[in-house]
Amino acid sequence: MLFRSVNRTTRIDASQLVPGDVVSLAEGEKVPADIRLLRSANLRVDEAQLTGESLPISKQTDALTGNKEMYEQTNMLFQGSFVVSGTGTGVVVATGNQTEFGNLAMLSKRESTQSPVQRKIDTLITRVIAAVSAIALVAFGLSLLRGMDVLESLRFVMALAVSAVPESLPIAISVVLVLGMRRMAAKKALVHQMRAIETIGVITTIATDKTGTLTKNKLTVQQTWTPDEATENIDRIIGLVVNRAHAKSHDPLDIALNEYARKQSASPRHAPVHDLPFSQAHAMSATVWHHGRQFRLYVKGAPEAILAACRVSARTKKRAQQMLDEMTARGYRVIGLATGELDEAIDSFDQLGKLTFAGFVAVADVLRPEAPRAIRAALKAGVSVRMITGDHFETAYQIGRELDMVENRNEVFDCRDMAKPSDDQLDAIVTKTKVFSRVIPEQKYRLLTILKKHHITAMTGDGVNDVPALTNAHVGVAMGSGSHIAKDAGDIILLNDNFKTIIDAMREGRTIIANIRRMLFYLLSTNTGELITMIGALLIGIKTPLEPVQILWVNLVTDTSMVIPLGLEPGEKQAMNRPPERPDAPILSRQMIWRMVIVAATMSVIALAVYIFFEKHYGHNYAQTLAFISLVVSQWANAFNARSDSESKIGRAHV
């Protein structure tokens, strides 16, 4: 609930807040502006949308010194975050675009840019048009030298120029991309920006957020441990220690513990007598239950605080510390459990006596089961994967190990040190680093800027904190369950939140790029064949083997009917076993250009030979007709030839 304090307290709409207003917030409410806390009571806030930190942050009112990152500003509430427990009152210090949320929006301005593939095609077509213009001038001069009428010569040259330029290519590419979008949508990848469908096929690196992308963004119990002398079942304790002061808990930890207790059939049927919410001073929370004529206390909290509040032997304490080290080394968040006997219900931890240590429960944000396989598939395809997360260094390292992304801590970079190196120094760090921890949105943006110098990048994410990087990447991939602003910023939306779908999109993109190359090969080789045929006739001093209307007919009918089917070819089996090409590689390789030259020369030689032979025996009109037919048949044959660079595709079925 939102309140403004002006000699009285009243409820107002969040849009009416201005700096200086005093706002009170309670559990379950969304923070409407950037707020400096004045008072707080066991206040914990979920800032995952802004920082990527999957665990709630405890807030307090004490002043901080020095420059602090967003996740270190424990006396501030930021717009867009949620209160998961406790209450707080503070003064509004920023609204709208002046908030941290607004700063992200400023970073997220998208510039309208062409895809890398489109830039390469434009460069190629520009060169083709320049070459055709030069050849047209030569052809015009030759035709005049051969005694052709000026108007007839102009008509001939214009038809020649039209035939040489692949003007049907933009339409064909648009058709291919639209049909590709339909196929990708069937695989749960919704294309938001058409240019992304071709760019995803040439990406060389994927920068991925962790929370909600590689993981489920849902805490679950991973491991429990009890000391040897424990007498009470730990599953039952877990069920009883969940805070149930409200009908529905907003604390991810309580939700995780409650789900675990229900699965173990250990969830209580009744409510506790009293809840003690999380206390920052004591680093614990508790529930009070009836136990016969007395009461029983169930406590959870920081392991160190729980051990300090319990009667434990030296042997048990040593063993507990070993287990704590083992669990934290695996990247788990460890919660200590304890119990206590009470003569009467208490409402403050200041009344707490000595407790009995009950053990540890380890929770973690679990990996999506398909994520490791998808990352291996990306690496096999020659695409590097980098994890960018707001989590602590140790958590990021352990997740990276589970995903087989890193082998040692040297491959993890703590972005709290990111302000120190220059861009050139950071470039060297980024090259060898696979996992980045403690990343804030501005740093994600900077990392993507550096990656784009050497790579064609894709960025995945689901939160507000991912938006600047999503818009800065060549392809932004948003999760379907993510925030609306992230989905608006993404070029592709994964409807099933499955990292594997990115690999499916890459395969589809690579197929489309290969088909665009096939279309270019077919159009340029056939058009060049027509051009050489006509220029060759002028050079050797024979009549033109094709009339201008025949040239235009070939361009209109044969080219169009053949080029679109080439754009719908199914992908080759080895498409995902080859590394992507260099970002600066031309759209047509040197090998493909040589193939085009050979095909064009062969087509022109056949057409000229047919014309010369039949013109001697049957006259110009007869020879011209057969030359026209031979050129059309050669283009049919070239359509089959264009279906693959290395395999015979005759009779290959479309799927």
Beta-strand pair 412-414/284-291: unpaired
Give bridge partners of residue 40 from the DSSP assignment: 88
Catalytic residue selected from 209, 251, 491, 504: 209
Q: 520 and 586 in contact (C-beta within 8 Å)?
A: no
Lookup: tokens for 114:
């062409």
Tokens 């502006």 correspond to what residue? 33
Active site residue 209: yes
Task: Give me Rg for the CA atoms of the chain.
Answer: 34
Lookup: tokens for 57:
């942050």
**For 384, left (φ over 0), alpha (ψ -120 to 50), or beta?**
beta
Write down the number of H helices and E strands in the chain: 21, 22
Q: 633 and 560 in contact (C-beta within 8 Å)?
A: no
List CB contacts of 402: < 8 A, sequence separation 6 or more: 367, 372
Lookup: tokens for 646:
């290395």
Q: 250 and 84 in contact (C-beta within 8 Å)?
A: yes
- Residue environment code for 456-473, b if the CB has 16+ CB neighbours within 10 A, otherwise e: bbbbbbbbbbbbbbbbbb
On the 0-12 / 13-18 / 19+ scale of CB atoms within 10 A, 299 is buried
**Separation between Cα atoms, residue 333 and residue 354, nearest integer Å:** 24
Q: 494 and 502 in contact (C-beta within 8 Å)?
A: yes
**Separation between Cα atoms, residue 527 and residue 517, nearest integer Å:** 15
**Separation between Cα atoms, residue 315 and residue 279, nearest integer Å:** 29
Q: 567 and 173 in contact (C-beta within 8 Å)?
A: yes
List CB contacts of 466: < 8 A, sequence separation 6 or more: 52, 209, 441, 444, 459, 460, 478, 482, 486, 489
Strand segments, DSSP code E, in 241-371 are 274-279, 284-291, 294-301, 310-311, 333-342, 355-367
Q: 207 and 405 in contact (C-beta within 8 Å)?
A: no
Containing 608, the helix (H) or strand (E) segment is: helix 590-618
List CB contacts of 68: < 8 A, sequence separation 6 or more: none
Nearest to 80 by CA among 68, 67, 70, 65: 70
Lookup: tokens for 186:
């069937």
**Separation between Cα atoms, residue 435 and residue 209, nearest integer Å:** 10
**Separation between Cα atoms, residue 545 and residue 543, nearest integer Å:** 6
Nearest to 456 by CA among 213, 208, 200: 200
Other CB atoms within a 10 A radius of the CB of residue 71 amount to 20
Strand segments, DSSP code E, in 383-525 are 384-388, 412-414, 435-437, 457-461, 475-479, 492-494
Lookup: tokens for 602:
């062969």
Helix residue ranges, H only, 34-190: 48-51, 100-107, 116-145, 150-164, 169-186
Residue 412, helix vs strand vs coil: strand
Positions marked catalytic: 209
